[in-house]
Structure 1
């Protein structure tokens, strides 16, 4: 499908690997000029060069912590008037909620709720003036289904979802949409850490831990970050102007619900 995004400008946060990279690839293929972001400058530069060469687009890498005011400003300086904003960020590490202190809770809320809100505030009025804007927040299936040890991440992302539910409806008349994509289990470095922990605790190999996890998913496999990116890209496209305030589960059927 032709997404109608040629020449558009997109910011994709935390996009040097994983789901952010999958999204950057899909938007690059659609013809968007990109600002990509991550903390590993060498990896980020490599990704930028590869995407620019493959798709003949402009790709600007910004190595920064997107949760910091300085990092946000650096990204916005590189692209002050984006047509597309994809909010993505690492979540707090898995831990029992009783281990969380005030500082770690605040940090988690900044990462997964406050940061995307700040970025949206910075760009949404310009999108409304230009009568085109697509904002996609990569959250988590844990917004709908609790995951043990990820209470802080789940709570912050659910807070973001609720916060934006009213905001998105204020801007729909300007062809600016805000949607959330909720990944389940994808074959990423973040999930690999979980497999390593499970393998150590259970006395099995990492591959066996990965296989057992996959068997719990109706699709019987982990997700591919590239297919996730294509789902995000559709919500960023010219064809998605009548979709806003929605939560798209991309989880291979793991969340058991009829509605």
Structure 2
């Protein structure tokens, strides 16, 4: 299927690895010019080369912390008026909510709620003027099914979801959509870190903790960044203009609901 976005310009935050990388790769495959972002310049440069070599697309690496004004300025210097924005940022590590300091709580809200709002503020009016825009927010399956220890991540991302749900309805008439992707267990560095933490807390091997997590997924496997990226690319396509304000659970069947 031709997604109809060849030649479009995209910013994909936190995309030097993991799910962001999968989204950037999928958009590049569809012919988009892609700005990728990360804080590890060496890893980011390698990711840009990998994506460009695999797709032939123009890929612009921007080493920056998107939570900072300077980082956001660098993103928009590379791509002043993106047609597509994928909001993504690392979540806070697993931690009992009793241990969270005020500073840690505020940092989590900034990283997983405020940054996406700020970036959306910057792109929304040019998208409205062009009568085309696609904003995808990568949140988490824990927005719908909270996990102990990820309370800050769940809360900040749930706040973003509620905030953007109203915005999505305000701009839908201009062919600008805002949607949410809620990943479950995907084979990423973050999942590996969480599994290692669980193994330590439960006093079991990492291999056993990993298998336990796989066993909890009806699909009996972890998701891949490629299939996550393919879903993102469709939501950014010309065919998805009637989908907005939606939370797409991508979790191998873990969330036990019909609606």
Q: Same fold (TM over 0.5)?
A: yes
Is 2:125 aligned against 1:125? yes
Rounded Cα–Cα distance in structure 2 between residues aligned with 1:200 and 1:12: 33
Rounded Cα–Cα distance in structure 2 between residues aligned with 1:54 and 1:213: 32
Provide the residue aligned with 1:237 in structure 2.
Answer: 237
Partner SS for 2:35? strand
Q: Is the 8 A contact 2:97 2:152 kept in 1?
A: yes
What is the aligned-residue RMSD (CA, Å)? 0.9
Q: Counterparts in 2 of 1:56-205, with a 5 A limit? A: 56-205=56-205
Rounded Cα–Cα distance in structure 2 between residues aligned with 1:41 and 1:256: 40
Partner SS for 1:86? strand
Q: Is the 8 A contact 2:29 2:57 kept in 1?
A: no
Rounded Cα–Cα distance in structure 1 between residues aligned with 2:184 and 2:67: 23
Gaps of 5+ in 1: none
Q: How many residues align?
A: 259
Partner SS for 2:164? helix
Rounded Cα–Cα distance in structure 2 between residues aligned with 1:170 and 1:27: 26
Rounded Cα–Cα distance in structure 2 between residues aligned with 1:110 and 1:119: 12
Partner SS for 2:177? strand
Rounded Cα–Cα distance in structure 2 between residues aligned with 1:217 and 1:159: 26
Provide the residue aligned with 1:4 in structure 2.
Answer: 4
Gaps of 5+ in 2: none
CA-CA distance at 1:93 after TM superposition: 1.2
Rounded Cα–Cα distance in structure 1 between residues aligned with 2:92 and 2:55: 34
